[in-house]
Structure 1
Amino acid sequence: MEWNRTKTIFIIVFLILDIFLAFQYLDKRRINQFPILEKSTLQEDMKADHITYNNLSKESQKGSSISAQKKVFKQSEIKSLKGQKPLMDTSKSDSLTEIKMAFSEPIPLPKTDMETKAREIVNQQVINGSKYKLWRVDKSQKQIIFFQTYKGDYIFQDQNDNANNEIGEVVLFYNDKNEVVRYKQSMLKEIKEVKTENLISAVGAVEALYYPDYLKPNSKVKKTELGYFTQYPLASAQIFVPVWRIEVQRKTDEAVIHEEFIVDARDGAVLLSQEKKEKS
């Protein structure tokens, strides 16, 4: 009887000891594994997916949102444009937030370096033309596009918006003879800084695209630039937030894919995503 009781006590003691040792082992294993899990960083995950970017800044900076209003063009301003005639109804002069003008004489563009001549046309022939900076030449549409800037940074436009809601933009239209024949213009006025905040770095903006799966394997970041953007261009007065615009290129068996992302520079939210394919 005594032996049975002693045996039971030994079994209980060894069972408690086994449980204690098991907890010790599991806790030690968890502690030892934690540094291994930490080594799997976001940068290493991106490297494993062959996502590359070169010489991007990792430094955060200060930046401001800005407020602005759509400019209404006055009759006197339109009449002051020499060698041009309006292509829109100017009788509603209290609501002309976009003007469309034709040149009396087409302005020739050189076949090489047409950008320099285009800048000259905008600076000399367009109202407050120095406030705009060349964005791109669209040869397929025969357009040369300029965006308005603030302190040298672009106020980005959604070029895929078919509702014609552009703001702060000049578009030159040229013909088959490489002559600029007309243009359209919209402008922002009374631009003011409204709130200064800490902004994420260029690298942080690229990383913000990764885990939501915007950045696909084998992507190459071609360009990043800081600017301003609004998601609500219809409002007469609006707020533009600081953003990173990111150009990405990746290749598939069928095509070269060009992607453009607008990322909120305050918190990394993706505000715009566009894609264009070229046959490879």
Structure 2
Amino acid sequence: MDWKKTEIIFIIAFLVLDIFLAFMFFNKQLTDDPDKLGTDTLQDHLKTDNISYPQSALSTKKSQGAIFTAEQTAFVPKDLPNDDNQSFLIEENGSAIYSTLKKPVKANKQGDSKEMMAFMKSNVYKGDSYKFWRYDKDSNQLIYNQIMKDEPVLMDQGGQITFQLNQQYEVVSYRQTILGKQDDLEDKAELISSMDALESVYQHGDLKTDSEIKKVDFGYYTTVQLSSGDVYFPVWCFEIEHKGETNYILVNAKDEQVINMNENRPTTVK
């Protein structure tokens, strides 16, 4: 028997086996999570479906968020800014401030004019604790959301300012609500990225062909309103336009649950 030839055959056989096992291992790594499309595959699907998006929609950076409760604060007369240009009305039970401006304040659709920023800082109660979210063309309003835990509260009239504009995009009035006392239920933790959230939206079937993802936001949202305070959890929010209509889809940044705002509304528990 030619032992040298046999030895060479065994070496070749083991090399082939090693290559096969390595291939199987790396293939398993790629397919361990069959529900995840991966960046390239997701991009391919979006391209095939003619869905456009901002680069932030495909960020792989993990988010950070907490879970907490917050209560809406009642306004009292001393909360009203000392501003002769405004006529104030505190709504029933102090739930909101309504202000009418004698002289309009110059603004724009982006909510970032110098005059608007100065007005927010000096003439709106705790105005620096609100962040511009969007311009609503149907109502001709600028919407600002309150910042909680370093992020805006989304889709919640309990912590929001809506500025009414005239035809020259000047503020003529506004309505303000504010959230106060907070109680932490869970500390900040690492959560999913915007790309993970978008994958969930795509697989859930909420992205229609020929859509445009206009904007991606991270913030807090409540689905359950309790008498002792509302529970807020971190979400990714996608503003999606399809055939001239705008829809908002939220994704729980912790468990990836998809919330289509056309189909879901907050539930009040009495």
TM-score (norm. length: structure 1) = 0.67
Partner of 1:122: 120
Counterpart of 1:207 (choices 193, 199, 214) is: 199
How many pairs align? 226
> Deviations along 1:25-81, whole A, 9 cap, x unmatched?
xxxxxxx9xx79959873437624435654623243442112211011012223745
Partner of 1:133: 131
Structure 2 stretches lacking a partner, 5+ long = 1-23, 264-270
Deviates further, 67-76 or 171-180: 171-180
Does the aligned pair in 2 maintain the 1:131–1:149 contact within 8 Å?
A: yes
Does the aligned pair in 1 maintain the 2:200–2:256 contact within 8 Å?
A: yes
Partner of 1:47: 44
Mapping 1:2-151, distance limit 5 Å:
42-43=37-38, 44=41, 47-48=44-45, 49-50=48-49, 51=51, 54=55, 56-78=58-80, 80-88=82-90, 95-103=93-101, 105-109=102-106, 115-116=112-113, 117-151=115-149
> Deviations along 1:109-160, whole A, 9 cap, x unmatched?
26797631223222221110100111122344221211111244211015xx
Structure 1 residues 228 and 127, CA gap change in structure 2 (3 angstroms) = same
Answer with 1 or 2: which has the greater Rg: 1
Structure 1 residues 114 and 272, CA gap change in structure 2 (3 angstroms) = closer
Deviates further, 241-250 or 263-272: 241-250
User: What amino acid is aligned across from residue 189 of structure 1 in structure 2?
Assistant: G
Does the aligned pair in 1 maintain the 2:109–2:142 contact within 8 Å?
A: no
> Deviations along 1:176-230, whole A, 9 cap, x unmatched?
3544222110001123443034412211101111222112334454432211001
Structure 1 residues 128 and 222, CA gap change in structure 2 (3 angstroms) = same
Answering whether residue 190 of structure 2 is matched by residue 195 of structure 1, we say no
Secondary structure (helix, strand or coil) at the match of 2:202 reads: coil
Secondary structure (helix, strand or coil) at the match of 1:145 reads: strand
The alignment-based identity, stated in percent, is: 26
Does the aligned pair in 2 maintain the 1:69–1:236 contact within 8 Å?
A: yes
In structure 2, distance between residues paired with 1:193 and 1:109: 39
Deviates further, 195-204 or 218-227: 218-227
In structure 2, distance between residues paired with 1:59 and 1:111: 31
In structure 1, distance between residues paired with 2:73 and 2:81: 17
In structure 2, distance between residues paired with 1:45 and 1:113: 30
Does the aligned pair in 2 maintain the 1:167–1:233 contact within 8 Å?
A: no
Structure 1 stretches lacking a partner, 5+ long = 1-31, 159-165, 276-280
Does the aligned pair in 1 maintain the 2:76–2:90 contact within 8 Å?
A: no
Counterpart of 2:221 (choices 229, 232, 235) is: 229
User: What amino acid is aligned across from residue 240 of structure 2 in structure 1?
Assistant: V
